[in-house]
Homo-oligomer: A and B are copies of this chain.
Amino acid sequence: MIGRTVCTGKDSPRAEVQRERILCAAQKCFIEHGFHAASMANIAAAAQMSAGLMYRYFENKSAIVKAIVERQLQDGRAQIEQLHTSADLAASILQTYRLWLARDPSVMNPALYLEMSAEATRDPQIAAALQESDERIFEALQAWMARDRDDRGLGLPPDIASRRAHLLMQVWNGLAVSAVRRPNQDPAAMRDVIEQFVNRLVMP
């Protein structure tokens, strides 16, 4: 212990790397099998480690689920933020939809999004996490819509901004459902739908 720099413990970089491996594997398994059907053994195999080892980094399976939920929410918020920082809202939404259809692993997975939403009706912790995240999204969208056009906002009156933020969230959610239910849909077919919608959404 003396004169030697050890680097262990639950906060060590090593531990962080392991947690990361587990979460990557878990995400893959949850997408493939769902939260309940994916087993700890599945995840361990995907993470190339023994099942027991995972319990060094996560208290139990539920903790892994929670962590994945948290991640998905983050990924979702990241995608939403791109919307109102992009010059072309319609193109941005369409791109999101494309990534969902392509099951791009670097963005929120829409199937997980639905599954964790359903799970929220059974698990209060998940429900709370989702609500909080949705709240943050809504506020960010509304703020952006109400902000001055000079300040990269839409310059809408607050009450209209609120309604449109809500509507945008519904459509965003709806597209996530669509991406899951109609995975072979040609995203181009949605281009006009989205453009028309956006045209009216941003209309003063």
Contact = CB atoms under 8 A, between A and B. Distances in A.
Given A166-B193, A167-B171, A173-B174, A181 B130 contact: yes
Interface in A76-122: 111-112, 114-115, 117-122
Interface string A141-170: 000000000000000000000011011011
A18 interface: no
Nearest to A163: B193
Contact of A177 (B131, B166, B174): B174
A121 B176 CA distance: 13
B178 A177 contact: no
A178 B167 contact: no
B170 A178 contact: yes
Given A34-B119, A192-B163, A181 B134 contact: yes
A36 B36 CA distance: 6
Contacts of A37: 36, 122
Give the contact-size bracket for chain A: 35 or more
A5 interface: no
Contacts of A173: 173-174, 177-178
A10 interface: no
Contacts of A174: 169-174, 177
A122 B180 contact: no
A183 B31 CA distance: 25
Contacts of A192: 163
A204 B24 CA distance: 49
A175 interface: yes
Given A169-B174, A170-B171, A171-B174, 4 more contacts: A115-B118, A163-B196, A167-B197, A170-B178
